[in-house]
Amino acid sequence: MATYQLIAAYEVGAGGQSSITIGSGGTIPQTYTDLILKCSLRNNTGISYNTVKLSFNGSPSGSSYSFRTLYTIGTTTSSYGGSSGSEIVAGGSVSSGNTSSTFSNAEFYIPNYAGSTNKSVSCDSVTEANSSTNGNIFNNLTAGLFANTSPITSIVLTSDASSFVQYSTAYLYGVKNA
């Protein structure tokens, strides 16, 4: 029996997209155990540090999110976090000021997404473009919490930038443990 199945695939088209919504209207099926979201992202700005933000179910409560991140930029390793926020800041996308045709690589793991407990999220993300001119070449490990007991039925990805560029992708998989 297949336990790792594609639920949804999303590719940003020409002109870009300000956000990526998966399960619009609350359509993520509740029949899996865990969710895995794999992303490849690039944005349209040249700012030095460009994060990706994750929120669920249309953010029913704007203060339900917290996170802890360990990251490396160049030769520096550090950590930051946030609490009572409106999204989980998790990873980055490659800015347009960096080498062309380079995209980030990120994976979000969301266990027990259909359960009635608060939702923990794990994220690994890297951006590498053979350049540090814009300072946004970093890798990133994040623990996030969505302090809400409702099942996750939709996911929204946003960015510091105004849009994700064409060919950015997001694939959502479901994992069954039985």
d(CA 96, CA 128) in angstroms, rounded, equals: 13
Footprint of other proteins on 90-119 (CB under 8 A)? 109, 111-112, 117-118
Q: Please report, as a single letter, which amino acid is at residue 168.
A: S
Q: In angstroms, what CA-CA distances link 153 with 6, 35, 172? A: 15, 11, 12
Tell me which amino acid residue 51 is: T
**Cβ neighbour number for residue 82 with a 10 Å cutoff:** 15
For other proteins, the closer CB: 33 or 158: 33
Name, in order, each residue with C-beta under 8 angstroms of 32's C-beta and a sequence gap of 6 or more. Answer: 5, 7, 113, 114, 174, 175, 176
Per CB under 8 A, 176 contacts other proteins: yes
Binding to other proteins by residue 34, rule CB under 8 A? yes
Q: Quick one: which of 63, 77, 86, 149 contacts other proteins (CB under 8 A)?
A: 77
Based on the shown chain and the rule CB under 8 A, indicate whether residue 122 belongs to the binding site for other proteins.
yes
- Complex with other proteins: residue 42 or 53, whichever CB lies closer: 53
Does residue 135 belong to the site contacting other proteins (CB under 8 A)? no
Which one, of 37, 153, 148, lies nearest residue 86 by Cα? 148
Check binding of 169 to other proteins (CB under 8 A). no
Site for other proteins in 44-73 (CB under 8 A): 66-71
Q: Which positions touch other proteins (CB under 8 A)?
A: 1-4, 33-34, 66-71, 77-83, 88, 109, 111-112, 117-118, 120-122, 124, 141-145, 175-178
